[in-house]
Amino acid sequence: MQSNSSMRTPLGRVRGLGSAKSGTGHFWLQRLTAVANLILTVIFVFIVVALVGKPYPAAIALLSHPLVAILMLLFILSACIHMRLGMQVIIEDYVHEEGMKILAVMANTFFAIAVGAASVYAVLKLSFGG
Amino acid sequence: MSVAHRVTGTGLYLGTVLIAAWLVAAASGPAAFDTAQWIAGSILGRLVLFLYSFSLMHHMVGGLRHFVWDMGKGYEPQTRMAMAKFTLVISAALTILIWVVVLATR
Ligand code: HEM
């Protein structure tokens, strides 16, 4: 049987959430998206470099190619999840007043979703011919 | 923990607004796209893009260092210094490579 030497309550141990209330899930998703970003960033840089100096029709043709569009969507998705988690860690490190912290974490989530939604909308509109 | 990783991460975070704006401009039609391209090609635009590309490369290579740390390795002072130098040299080289290709194909 487990002794009572731990500072944590039995319920706290079972839920395993720690002080950030999201536990290792947060840490893991940050690492998962970091690995995805590593690959997708290289692809993203190639796409952007290929677009330099291209006139509008050629640029649109490239961006709306299914493979390019899908990779762009994956990059946007992975980057937005990753940066939201990363910024949340920064907020938790520097903002200690509870109300401000909640507001900042909320604003961070809104920012990530807004940037992601706008980018996804644009890529899909280009792909489906708009 | 690495301050540079945090600074570049924050820069990339803010820069996603520009990527989103550029994609929305492309989706809005030729006029908006030309304006976006003109801004990106201006002196200020290029400066921002240069800093963004360097931040991206530095954060990417610096991320490799975090993977090493996550595996419980590389905490010795000499190793940390070596990895910090590696990050700076490789990310600078990658940034220069990107810009050489950009300026050559423009
Ligand atoms: C290119 C591939 C990328 C890799 C390999 C990567 C890797 C990582 C890793 C491992 C961390 C955690 C650092 C820690 O625990 O202290 C991190 C943090 C972070 N990343 Fe990335 N990342 C990448 C791309 C991006 C992009 C594109 C953005 C923004 C759009 C971004 C924004 C952030 C932010 C804001 C943090 C938090 C920094 C901190 O806590 O100090 N990353 N990144």
> What CATH architecture is B2-104?
Up-down Bundle (1.20)
* Residue of chain B whose alpha carbon sits nearest to that of A34: B63
State both tokens at B99. Answer: 């810009």
CA distance A15 to B77: 36
**pLDDT tens figures, A69-98:** 999 999 999 999 999 999 999 999 999 999
- The answer to whether A36 touches A74, Cβ cutoff 8 Å, is yes
The pair of structure tokens assigned to B105 is 């194909």
User: Which ligand 1 atom minimizes the distance to the CA of A38?
Assistant: 2
Contacts of A23 (CB under 8 A, 6+ apart): A15, A16, A17
CA distance linking residue B63 with residue B69, whole number of Å? 10
Rounded Cα distance, A69 and A67, in Å: 5
Instruction: Determine the Cα–Cα distance for residues A30 and A63; give it in Å rounded to an integer.
Output: 28
Looking up tokens 């050559």 gives B104
Residue A83 CB less than 6 A away from ligand 1:
yes
Q: Cβ of A56 under 8 Å from any chain B Cβ?
A: yes
CB nearest A49 (choices: B10, B21, B102): B102
Q: Where are the domains of chain B?
A: 2-104
Q: How confident is the model at residue A10 (pLDDT cuts 50, 70, 90)?
A: confident
DSSP B22-52: HHHHHHH-HHHHHHHHHHHHSHHHHHHHHHH
| Predicted local confidence at residue B57, as pLDDT | 98
Q: List per-residue pLDDT tens for chain B, 106 residues long.
A: 579 999 999 999 999 999 999 999 999 999 999 999 999 999 999 999 999 999 999 999 999 999 999 999 999 999 999 999 999 999 999 999 999 999 998 7
Closest Cα to residue A92, out of A78, A79, A108, A116?
Answer: A108
Is the C-beta atom of B5 inside 6 A of ligand 1?
Answer: yes
CA distance A85 to A89: 6
Is the Cβ atom of B10 under 6 angstroms away from ligand 1? yes
Q: Tokens 């600074």, residue?
A: B7
Report all structural domains of chain A as residue ranges with CATH numbers, in order of start: 22-127 (1.20.1300.10)
Contact B16 A90 (CB under 8 A): no
pTM: 0.89
Residue A34 with chain B: CB contacts under 8 Å = 63, 66-67
Cβ(A6)–Cβ(A13) below 8 Å: yes
